[in-house]
Chains A and B, each alone.
Chain A
Amino acid sequence: MDFGLSPEQEMLRDTVGRCLAETCPLDHVRSCSETGSAVSDQVMAALHDIGLTGLLVPEVHGGLGMTLLDAAVVAEQLGRAVAPAPFLALSVLAPLALMLAGSAAQQAEWLPRIASGAVRFGVAIAGIVEERDGVRVRADGGRLTGTALFALDFAGADYFIVGDVSGRLHLLAAASTGVERIALQTIDTTRSIGELRLTGAIAEPLADDGGLAARRLRDAGRVLLAADSLGAGEAMIEKAVAYAGEREQFGRVIGSFQAVKHMCAEMAARHEPCRALVWYAAHAFDTNPEEAALVACHAKSLTGEVHRFVARTATEVHGGMGFTDLLGLHFWFKRIGFDRQVLGGPERVRSDAAQLQGLTATT
């Protein structure tokens, strides 16, 4: 019995943490944001050097063959550093899609190239969570038509995994005829997201599995967004505590006022249990498929709620400075905002959780 990270996972956490501390200081995040790029070449290269691109790719295909809990450990560090680098779609969801629904030939063709960094993938499965603006993607005779919103790791992707309205996944080359790519601007300048407008674009279908792989992708995505939120939230709490220990008003540090101290304690008290839940959700994804979807929902909705509270409270602890651009606190605030909404906000996710347990009306 050992509920927690293995020594190897702790080493992975520390390695990624150190790598990001060196390559992704706040100044760098800021300069990427100012140039409008959510992909930092230097951060991407550094992550690639420690093998993260192929984190989930099986070793036979040139990857590290690691688990979703390992990926969650990495995602937490990326959130902590507000790192402008593709990871969720590129290194987790795309390889998972191929591993779950790709043929042996498709796996042999694509997984090694993902691991080596030769190709970059984005993933567009927002439509399987909920339809917005009345758009959807239909597949017909190996061609995709319609619009896929909120494709993750969008900028610079050579290929996309696209979910159609039936839940089936397809592999689409970004440069194909009939593919129009439109970048979307979000609050979070550290992540790249966009839409695909498809008019009879030729795509390679993955297995027709009744939407199973797509649902697994959704669950994995929810867990990793929760893990990202965990890292970003923890960083905000640390910043608030540090600031409250330095800033003086009325002749004393503001952290000695109970009003401020209790704001920090409330953040910590609500944040801390999220860590165990996220770890368990990632572990369940790897080991207990029956429970995985439900705990993924719990992790996603709880971190969504808790870290929204943390984001605003940590900002308030910083007073007026928190509201300015100067401290850059808003990068974490916005990262948390992104993590909360993508692949289902708390209400959507809780509604899914109710359905998964059979709590909804049968009529």
Chain B
Amino acid sequence: MNLEYGPEYERFRDEVRDFLARNGKRAPESAQRAARPTTDAVAWQNLLLEHGYTARTIPREYGGYGAEPDILEARIIAEEFARACVPGGLSNQGVSMLVPTLLELGTEEQKRRWIEPTLRGEIVWCQGYSEPGAGSDLASLRTSAREENGHFVINGQKIWTSTARQADMIFCLVRTETEAPKHAGISYLIFSMDLPGIEVRPLKTMTGHAEFNETFFTDVRVPVDQIVGQRGQGWFVANATLGHERGMLGDPDALENRLLALIRLMQEEQIGSARAIDNPVLRDRLVALQAEVAAMKYNGMRVLSNQLKGESGGMAKLIVKLQSCELAHQISALAIDAMGEMGILYAESPREREGGVWQWNYMFQLGLIIGGGTAQIQKNIIAERGLNMPREPRLALDAAQSRKEVA
């Protein structure tokens, strides 16, 4: 057990701290995941790009900083930004999902054309994966793309397209090979959201806000070269990015910061003449969550060490999405309970605490438990990949379909 990063890394940490001390006040208030970045956010992003505190390992010719991949440097940057409560670089779907996909599977031309403006916040992307009929069983998606005169003609509907209203571009899974088995008939296209035949309707959620959208395609014409990977390989291409998304949702620093905010709330909130934290039942719940957050923090360090050694994260990594989302939700639940009746105040009500953020979190985090692979799908993955348990026997219908496919 050696938790020292070593003198070279500590020098790097000092550099990051120094940067944050000098520039931290120029940071926008929070990382804006769901909307088009503000002028401030774009300026901040460009500053971070210049210093290599975001897109650090992306080659210079694509607009990155061109550093060698270094897990500890990346970790130090994340730690120090979290400690300073300063948002890191843009982590929208373009940056966190499309860019890694293009780097891995895009053509040279695609990389040069799309990566840099995406990193600079000039192009905002949305993700067109889920459909009303294709959620957990994403590979059953039905949005079709038939080829016609050098174009794909797209018809169908996507859902959960967050940022679709603000987005310039979409990366989208469509069915190009109607005769192929379901996983082999999908292609990964990138195209403009300004094309004729695209309609975006806000999707209002339980929070009262429309954090997501539904996107409809009617005879949308996309040049055939706007495909990433080969025709019929879209499932493989998309899985490269789903891995990035799952990694994104489990951030131990974020959990620690939420917990600190909860402690502050419980110290400020008064029940009669005592503080909420003086209530032994609430305090017991708080300390129980502290133990869980501590465990996830050290679990994260264990995963990091495994990666440094070139080993797979194993079970310690497989459980991160399920556990982190659940824990974040429980932190919000306790905050609401600690506020008592004040906990239900919302929508800019008089006496509302912190802009109603705890209720919004409590509801939105339920969305995160469901999204990006539901808790139940996560449990299947943990059981099947982590514990080597048998897969669900295929339904008779599925089996019949594959027989047809073979025939």
Contacts and interface: CB of A to CB of B under 8 A. Distances in A.
Nearest to A356: B287
Given A346-B288, A353-B287, A354-B287, A273 B298 contact: yes
Interface stretch (A118-126, A205-213, A257-265): A257-265
Contacts of B316: 272-273, 275-276
A273 B299 contact: yes
Given A258-B380, A268-B382, A268-B386, A2 B305 contact: yes
A3 B1 contact: yes
Nearest to B305: A3
B274 interface: yes
Nearest to B280: A351
B315 interface: yes
B5 interface: yes
Interface stretch (B79-87, B169-177, B387-395): B387-395
Nearest to A5: B1
A265 B382 CA distance: 6
Interface stretch (B61-69, B107-115, B289-297, B355-363): B289-297
A354 B287 CA distance: 7
Contact of A245 (B287, B299, B301, B390): B390
Contacts of A241: 387-389
A1 B315 contact: no
A360 B305 contact: no
Contacts of A244: 389
B295 A347 contact: no
Q: Which bracket fits the contact residues of B?
A: 35 or more
Nearest to A304: B291
Contacts of A264: 383, 387, 389
A262 B378 CA distance: 9
Interface string A293-311: 0010111011001000000
B389 A255 contact: yes
Given A256-B389, A353-B290, A262 B376 contact: yes
A266 B2 contact: no
A1 B393 contact: no
A11 interface: no
A223 to B, nearest CB: 13
Contact of B288 (A6, A279, A350): A350
A152 B288 CA distance: 27
A265 B387 contact: yes
Given A1-B5, A301-B287, A361-B274, A273 B379 contact: no
A305 B288 contact: yes
Nearest to B379: A265
- Mostly, the B contact residues are helix
- Most B CB contacts (10 A, CB to CB) among A268, A297, A302, A361 go to A268
A360 B389 contact: no
Contacts of B298: 3, 273, 276-277, 279-280
Contact of A268 (B288, B309, B319, B393): B319
- Mostly, the A contact residues are helix
B207 interface: no
B387 A273 contact: no
Contacts of B287: 297, 301, 350-351, 353-354, 359
A283 interface: yes
A245 B379 contact: no
Contacts of A359: 263, 277, 283, 286-287
A135 interface: no
Contacts, number: 161
Contacts of B283: 350, 354, 359-360
Contacts of A50: none
A276 B299 contact: yes
A63 to B, nearest CB: 21
A258 B1 contact: no
A4 B393 contact: no
B343 to A, nearest CB: 20
B351 interface: no
Contact of B302 (A3, A262, A305): A3
A255 B383 CA distance: 9
B294 A298 contact: yes
B295 A277 contact: yes
Contact of A69 (B1, B275, B304): B1
Given A264-B383, A277-B291, A3 B389 contact: no
A187 interface: no
A335 B2 CA distance: 31
A4 B295 CA distance: 14
A274 interface: yes
A219 to B, nearest CB: 15
B278 A4 contact: no
A273 B392 CA distance: 27
A182 interface: no
B379 A269 contact: yes
Contact of B291 (A252, A268, A269, A302): A302
Given A3-B298, A274-B295, A359-B277, 20 more contacts: A1-B3, A1-B6, A1-B9, A2-B2, A3-B301, A3-B302, A3-B304, A237-B387, A255-B383, A255-B389, A256-B392, A265-B378, A268-B387, A276-B298, A276-B316, A302-B295, A350-B287, A351-B280, A354-B286, A359-B286
14 contacts: A2-B309, A3-B301, A3-B305, A245-B390, A256-B389, A258-B392, A265-B378, A265-B387, A275-B299, A277-B298, A280-B298, A283-B1, A283-B3, A298-B295
Interface of B: 1-6, 9, 72, 263, 274-275, 277-278, 280, 283-284, 286-288, 290-292, 294-296, 298-299, 301-302, 304-306, 308-309, 315-316, 319, 322-323, 376, 378-380, 382-384, 386-393
In the complex, the 10 A-B pairs of residues with the closest C-beta atoms, listed nearest first: A276-B298, A273-B295, A265-B379, A298-B291, A277-B295, A265-B382, A350-B287, A3-B301, A273-B299, A261-B383
